[in-house]
Structure 1
Amino acid sequence: MRGDAPIDLLSFDCFTEIKPELDRFNLSKALQGNTGGIFLTINQTAPIKKRILLFGDSYFQSCLKWLSHIFEEIIYLRSPYILPDVASSLSPDLILTGNAERYLVNTPNAENDVPFFINYIHSRFESRKLDEHTLSAFQNIFSGRNSISYLEWKETLRISHKKTLLNLENNHLLQLCENNNILIDRIRDTATSLEKTDMEEAYRLMSIAHKARPSGIFIRRKLQEYILLLNP
């Protein structure tokens, strides 16, 4: 196809008019290149409540936006073969593996290859580029599927989506924020997203965020800004 004109293809991003509120996390920002990449998607409204584990090249990575509409959890590792220790740790319901033909001529021997997670302990891995949400996601996903830590983290994701936040009463939401920095961040970010469409709701959520994190400079500044706008 080299030298041919580009081909315009009709594409769509979801299977219904209502897009699910997906949580996506990946470690690519901290890696040099794509070796060792891990991607995670969570869709708690998915019709199939299964955890899917994918090993393969970038083809699976490009499939995540489709598969995430179908399965509740998808974990993708860029690896030319299945990693039994990783699969055992993550306890998936289904494992898929695949590689493009161009990789099959030089597939490394799994018995001689370096351990997968060596990518995260050498100097080329820059963890400072990852935010708290991403670090927490992978810490909890690898903590065990039935662990208290994982179950509490997943519940935090559920209640932190905009639709849920708007339906929770102030006292309940404030109670959920106790020792939960990720939820406070989500409330703060949801408030700022409502600035132009619903200032009263933005003020309500930012007030809760301020009570939960009174030392937050950005939250305090935004709350003062909302007060002035609501009381000119």
Structure 2
Amino acid sequence: MEQAKRQTISTLDAGSRTLADRVCHQLKDDIITGRLSQGSKIVEEDLAREHGVSRGPLREAIRRLEAMHLVQRIPHAGARVVTLSEKMMSDVYSVREALEGMSARLAAEFIKPKEVDELWLLLEQHEKNIDETEGTVYFQREGDVDFHIRIAQASQNQLLVKSLSSELYQLIRMCRYRTAKAPSRPTKALGEHRQIVDAISRRDGELAEILMRRHISGAWQIARELLLKDHHD
């Protein structure tokens, strides 16, 4: 009887985790793409009803979003979607420039020929994706199809990979989404990615780092201009 009870609890827990995974994934995308507005209050009752789940899985999803820095708990105000202030975005891009510059330099030293070929193929796919939007959008899906994550993986430095792919990753993606549709940015960003891969393939770590830092710095300038424009509007 006790064993059967434990199995039932285990099944319920597994189901709860599955629901939490689904809700977390959807809310994460809604926050990154702006469907859930920055600074908006997380109303558990409304979200539970919208996603067809109980409060338990929803609260677990919200806890995960907090760990991703996409949701903040404010004393006496509850949970809210993070607001990308100029200071926060500046901090994110400063960290990105340092870490991703380092990952490009290390990738030039440690990358395998097969990984170089895979990067070129990845950028070919990215070009097709941009063409499908008539050059208006360059926003990469997360994980192994993300150019910046592939560069970090090629560095063979697991601390770099962890920093860029877990702790800061979704906040970075939220910042990047803001520049993905900026006029002329998709084609320019793709060209810069190709220059970085070319430097890495030639084992020129110094140039790869310079190009990556310049790429991130340019993205920050665009993001900052868009942020200032939003404030004026």
The normalised TM-score by structure 2 is 0.25
Q: Normalising by structure 1, report the TM-score.
A: 0.26
- Decide which structure has greater helix share: 2
More strand by share: 1
